[in-house]
């Protein structure tokens, strides 16, 4: 009997009814029809559920169900465009392997369907028993940047203040932790300063370790709309699609970004290509920085990076003051053993050239997942809601006051980071793990370690849309979730724009929105009072607003969900005081209707720091720097290749649990794992494209097909992160400040494999 049949059987045994009270209030639990605010046969628009670009899609409904979609032409982000994932966004909802009922591993080791009542009792009874025996530090959760902010927010409140857990982290550690720490230390708050319009308004765009043609295709379309004939510089060891489309490619040696950036700073200072007035008025620490970079001689840096001193001079000349220069970075920077200092070295370049707070400028970290930014501000994992800090007594008091709880009950330091949580699972201190909307059995660095950790757990709970993800297969309990399109909430994109998810499709079987799963857990745990004012996502949003009041991310000027819809998304900050003022004069959207003009306008595209004021108490940005550290696992004679990893096609999303369900998207990528290898290396190893090879590291091995291509440099190979094999190889090194894994460098060797 397959799971679907088992579920039908279970429903039959129960008289075709759910046993829990949710059957009495289906609307409340996100079951059943489209919410009232949508007409059954109409078109509505909502944010795509994949990447942080945050495109808006028009969803066409028939009988209250989405039947089709088209990109939204009126939204300031995507202007009528979408990438293949967006066009195919409805398909994964209908997949056969959706989790349609909770599943519990029985004494025979097999998963069997159970009803929610049983699942929730197992969840609370087992976790409470573990906590009673081993303390609150023995249970941890791992969540995500892919669910609405309201869901992350109530999970954070429930887990920390309701269930009393200490440790919880998210896949945003794998992704954005570096930018978060870098901005906080440099600007005083985690605040990406840009608006997408800056893509169009730059004279020079520098992409550091970013491949937007593949990873953020609609942002790249915005670059293509730039009418200023911009120079586009790509700093990437690989000749990516973006590098090919750029005007200049700097194929540096992997992980030599930090010396490169210090070398550039040195040239800029030496040549007098800096904005001293800006530095004096708006920054601190420049003199120390100047002394520090003086030793980064162009000859030495040219050799170290493999770029040569001439190209360094050319680079510095292109980014000096006088033109609008914007710097953009993603995972080539963040996923590094020294990601934070590298990101800050980019920030330093923008500050010292005065290229920030003006059109077409900025030190701009592009986020990855649809709601990575929501997680940074509201998830209550590494910081308290509203971008507050655990160690700050005043911040703890503010949080306690809003929630009506005792400040003494709030921990005074953040919980453990992802890697430390897994370490403690392995050492036996953490006994239970609750995994929500992430698939670490594929995506976590060094799978051997993750598998070992999973094998040691007394309880692994996986809350996912699908029952057969690599992580769900290891679980003792699976909680079935509604996905994008089946629930409501807000998400925050890379340019700080808050947009809406809507419920346009019924969730299958007993699957529930994560929001209501958390609500049910609160009820069964006996702490539902904590969330009593948050019966719906929109009520939780109102609470998030309260947490934002007076903070740099203040959104008290957003009245409600319909306002977000009307305005085409709203960037933070938008304090209530801004809405009380007269309509702002710049950037108001010309498409606003006559009725709209009666209300104060929200400027549609805004950037931060236009007044040169940063969030440190002195109002200034800080130069941050430190000497580069050696590569954690350099190549050797035994493991002579540097393995780089990353995104491979615009049709693949991470571990492919969603994109893999679309026949259209599957046609756009390789069915087999791949390893890209340079023609010289391939000929030495007698490899042709399509041959199977074994890729081996000190931790594991992976079988992949050779893709012979000069996109990689000799001595380097590249594997897509979308293939589950890749993290059997990666090396668990971490940035010391952000604890983000360095996914993009480890040492491997290749051996031809006889098979076909
Ligand atoms: N289609 C698609 N789009 C996505 C995603 C997806 O899975 N699929 N995921 C989303 C998410 S969560 C994220 S975080 C983003 C990631 O977006 P990106 O960061 O743009 O994507 P990656 O391919 O991981 O890495 C970017 C580049 O870093 C380069 N790189 C490797 N090592 C170094 C180095 O030492 N220095 C420099 N300068 N570059 C280096 C790689 O060669 C690669 O081309 O994409 C988002 N968008
Ligand atoms: N080697 C290597 N590894 C990497 C990277 C790399 O560049 N190289 N990149 C890293 C980065 S930047 C990231 S962000 C991570 C991503 O790694 P993961 O987060 O593990 O990847 P996803 O496939 O996005 O997993 C999301 C899971 O959530 C489920 N899901 C989707 N929507 C919902 C929902 O609404 N509710 C619930 N409960 N579940 C849902 C999906 O089915 C899926 O199982 O991978 C990291 N791993
Ligand atoms: S670029 Fe990102 S947000 Fe836009 S359609 Fe593609 S996946 Fe969705
Ligand atoms: Mo990411």
- Within a domain: 237: yes
Last residue within a domain, chosen from 366, 394, 419: 366
pLDDT above 60: residue 109: yes
For residue 567 the two structure tokens come to 């305005």
Q: What is the CATH number of the domain that holds 673?
A: 2.40.40.20
pTM across the whole model: 0.94
Q: Examine the pLDDT at 638 and tell me if it is beyond 60.
A: yes
What spacing in Å lies between the alpha carbon of 35 and ligand 3's midpoint?
Answer: 25
- Do both 193 and 339 map to the same domain? yes
Each residue's pLDDT tens digit, 160-205: 999 999 999 999 999 999 999 999 999 999 999 999 999 999 999 9
Determine the pLDDT at residue 590.
40
Predicted local distance difference test score (pLDDT) of residue 581: 58
SS3 helix, strand, coil % of the chain, rounded to 5?
35, 20, 45
Q: Which of 435, 450, 518, 654 to mutate to test the pocket of ligand 2 (most atoms within 8 A of CB)?
A: 654
347 and 393 assigned to the same domain: no
Residues with CB under 6 A from ligand 3: 48, 50-51, 53-55, 78, 82-83, 85-86, 217-218
Please indicate, yes or no, whether residues 740 and 706 belong to a single structural domain of this protein: yes
- Domain of 703, in residue numbers: 641-752
Q: Which of 543, 566, 588 is the last residue of a domain?
A: 543
Specify if 12 maps to a domain. no
Is 44 within the bounds of a domain? no
Nearest-angstrom CA–CA distance, 504 and 42: 11
- Of 336, 366, 396, the residue at which a domain comes to its end is 366
Q: pLDDT category, 9, cuts 50, 70, 90? A: low
Question: In 3-state terms, what secondary structure has residue 381?
Answer: coil
User: 528: pLDDT confidence band, cut at 50, 70 and 90?
Assistant: very high
DSSP result, 561-603: HHHHHHHTSEESP--HHHHHSPPPSSS--TT--TTGGGSPPPP
Residues 330-359 have pLDDT tens digits of 999 999 999 999 999 999 999 999 999 999
Ligand 3, atom 4: nearest CA belongs to which residue?
Answer: 55
pLDDT digits (tens, 9 = 90+) for 480-526: 999 999 999 999 999 999 999 999 999 999 999 999 999 999 999 99
Q: Which pLDDT value is given to residue 19? A: 34
**Which pLDDT score, from 0 to 100, does residue 602 have?**
82
- Are 123 and 477 spatial neighbours (Cβ–Cβ below 8 Å)? yes
Same-domain pairing of 464 and 338: no
Give the chain's mean pLDDT.
93
- Average pLDDT, stretch 676-684? 98
Distance 654 CA to ligand 2 centre (A): 6
**Mutation test residue for ligand 2: of 171, 642, 730, the one with most atoms within 8 Å of CB:** 171
Q: Are residues 432 and 532 in the same domain?
A: yes
Please, which residues have CB less than 5 A from ligand 4, an ion? 175, 368
Helices 309-319 and 257-270: angle between axes, nearest 10 degrees: 70
φ and ψ of 621, to 5 deg: -85, 155
Q: How far apart are CA 94 and CA 505, in angstroms?
A: 10
Under the banding of pLDDT at 50, 70 and 90, the label for residue 111 is very high
User: Is 503 a member of any domain?
Assistant: no
Are both 141 and 196 inside the same structural domain? no
pLDDT of residue 579: 84
Residue pLDDT, tens place only, 241-263 = 999 999 999 999 999 999 999 99
User: What is the Cα–Cα distance from 207 to 734, expressed in whole angstroms?
Assistant: 23
On the question of pLDDT at 754 being above 90, the answer is: no
Q: Are 352 and 278 found together in one domain?
A: yes
Q: For residue 521, how far is its CA from the centre of ligand 2 (angstroms)?
A: 23
Phi, psi of 212 (to 5 degrees): -60, -25
Q: What is the CATH number of the domain that holds 265?
A: 3.40.228.10
Residues 283 and 361 in one domain: yes
Q: CATH number for the domain including 113?
A: 3.40.50.740
548 inside domain = no
Q: Which two tokens stand for residue 394?
A: 């005043």
Residue 7 has pLDDT above 50, yes or no: no
Same domain, 165 and 308: no
Question: Are residues 218 and 154 part of one domain?
Answer: no
Give the total number of structural domains in the chain: 3
**What spacing in Å lies between the alpha carbon of 366 and ligand 4's midpoint?**
10
- Report helix, strand or coil for 522: helix
In a domain, 378, yes or no: yes
Of the listed ranges 36-40, 267-271, 453-457, 751-755, the least confidently predicted one is 36-40
Ligand 4 centre to CA of 418 (Å) is 14
Ligand 2: which residues within 6 Å by Cβ? 144, 146-147, 171, 174-175, 331, 335, 368-369, 436-440, 442-443, 463-466, 469, 481, 483-484, 514, 645-646, 653-655, 657-658, 721, 726-727, 730, 743
Q: Cα separation of 368 and 371, whole Å?
A: 8
37 falls within a domain: no
pLDDT by residue (tens digit) across 365-411?
A: 999 999 999 999 999 888 999 999 999 999 999 999 999 999 999 99
Confidence of residue 29 (pLDDT cuts 50, 70, 90): very low
* Mean pLDDT calculated for residue range 117-129: 98
- Cis ω on the peptide bond leading into residue 573 (within 30° of 0)? yes
The mean per-residue pLDDT over the stretch 602-616 comes to 94
**According to the model, what pLDDT value does residue 37 have?**
66
Quick check: 36 pLDDT over 90? no
Ligand lying nearest the CA atom of residue 702: 2
Let me know whether 192 and 286 are in one domain: yes
Task: Give the model's pLDDT for residue 454.
Answer: 98
- Same domain? 324 vs 472: no
Residue 71 domain-assigned? no
């Amino acid at each position: 009997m397959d799971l679907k049949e088992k579920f039908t059987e279970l429903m039959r045994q129960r008289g075709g009814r759910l046993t829990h009270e949710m059957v009495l209030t289906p609307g409340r639990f996100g079951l059943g029809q489209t919410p009232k605010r949508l007409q059954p046969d109409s078109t509505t628009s909502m944010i795509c559920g994949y990447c942080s670009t945050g495109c808006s899609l028009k969803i066409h409904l028939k009988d209250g169900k989405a039947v089709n979609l088209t990109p939204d032409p009126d939204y300031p982000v995507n202007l009528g465009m979408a990438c293949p994932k967006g066009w195919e966004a409805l398909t994964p909802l209908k997949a056969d392997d959706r989790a349609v009922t909770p599943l519990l591993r029985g004494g025979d080791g097999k998963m069997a369907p159970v009803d929610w009542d049983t699942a929730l009792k197992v969840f609370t009874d087992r976790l409470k028993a573990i906590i009673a025996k081993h303390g609150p530090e023995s249970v941890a959760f791992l969540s995500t940047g892919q669910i609405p902010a309201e869901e992350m927010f109530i999970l954070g409140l429930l887990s920390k203040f309701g269930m009393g857990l200490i440790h919880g982290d998210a896949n945003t550690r794998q992704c954005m932790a570096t930018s978060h720490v870098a901005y906080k230390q440099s600007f005083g708050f985690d605040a990406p300063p840009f608006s997408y319009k800056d893509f169009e308004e730059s004279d020079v765009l520098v992409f550091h370790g970013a491949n937007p043609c593949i990873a953020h295709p609609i942002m790249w379309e915005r670059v293509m709309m730039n009418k200023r004939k911009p120079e586009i510089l790509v700093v990437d060891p690989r000749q990516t699609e973006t590098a090919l489309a750029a005007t200049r490619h700097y194929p540096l040696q992997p992980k030599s970004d930090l010396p490169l950036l210090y070398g550039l700073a040195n040239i800029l200072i030496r040549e007098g290509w800096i904005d001293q007035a800006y530095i004096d008025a708006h920054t601190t620490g420049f003199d120390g920085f100047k002394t520090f970079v003086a030793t980064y001689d162009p000859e030495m840096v040219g050799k170290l990076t493999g770029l040569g001193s001439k190209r360094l001079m050319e680079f510095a000349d292109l980014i000096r003051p006088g033109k609008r220069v914007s710097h953009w970075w993603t995972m080539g920077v963040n996923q590094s053993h020294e990601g934070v200092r590298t990101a800050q070295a980019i920030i330093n370049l923008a500050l010292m050239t005065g290229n920030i707070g003006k059109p077409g400028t900025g030190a701009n970290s592009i986020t990855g997942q649809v709601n990575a930014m929501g997680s940074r501000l509201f998830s209550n994992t590494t910081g308290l809601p509203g971008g507050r800090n655990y160690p700050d007594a005043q911040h703890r008091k503010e949080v306690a006051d809003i929630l009506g709880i005792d400040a003494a009950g709030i921990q005074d330091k953040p919980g453990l980071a992802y890697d430390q949580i897994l370490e403690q699972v392995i050492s036996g201190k953490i006994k239970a793990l609750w995994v929500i909307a992430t698939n670490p059995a594929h995506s976590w660095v060094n799978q051997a370690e993750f598998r070992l950790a999973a094998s040691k757990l007394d309880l692994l709970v996986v809350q996912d849309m699908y029952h057969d993800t690599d992580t769900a297969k290891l679980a003792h309990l699976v909680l079935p979730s509604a996905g994008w399109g089946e629930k409501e909430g807000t998400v925050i994109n890379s340019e700080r724009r808050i947009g809406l998810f809507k419920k346009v499709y019924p969730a299958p079987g007993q699957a529930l929105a994560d929001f209501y799963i958390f609500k049910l857990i609160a009820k069964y745990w006996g702490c539902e009072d904590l969330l009593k004012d948050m019966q719906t996502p929109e009520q939780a949003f109102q609470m998030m607003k309260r947490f934002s009041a007076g903070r740099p991310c203040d959104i008290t000027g957003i009245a409600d969900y319909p306002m977000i819809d009307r305005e085409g998304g709203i960037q933070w900050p938008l304090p209530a005081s801004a809405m009380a003022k007269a309509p702002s004069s710049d950037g108001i959207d010309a498409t606003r209707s006559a009725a709209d003009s009666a209300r104060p306008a929200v400027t549609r595209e805004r950037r931060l720091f236009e007044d040169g004021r940063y969030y440190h108490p002195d109002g200034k940005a800080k130069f941050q720097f430190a000497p580069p550290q050696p590569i954690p696992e350099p190549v050797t004679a035994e493991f002579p290749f540097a393995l780089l990893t990353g995104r491979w096609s615009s049709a693949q999303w991470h571990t492919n649990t969603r994109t893999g369900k679309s026949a259209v998207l599957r046609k756009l990528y390789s069915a087999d794992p791949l390893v890209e290898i340079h023609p010289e290396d391939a000929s030495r190893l007698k490899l042709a494209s399509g041959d199977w090879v074994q890729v081996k590291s000190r931790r594991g091995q992976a079988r992949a097909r050779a893709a012979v291509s000069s996109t990689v440099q000799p001595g380097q190979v590249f594997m897509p992160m979308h293939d589950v094999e890749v993290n059997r190889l990666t090396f668990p090194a971490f940035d010391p400040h952000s604890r983000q894994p360095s996914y993009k460098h480890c040492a491997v060797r290749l051996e031809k494999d006889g098979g076909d």
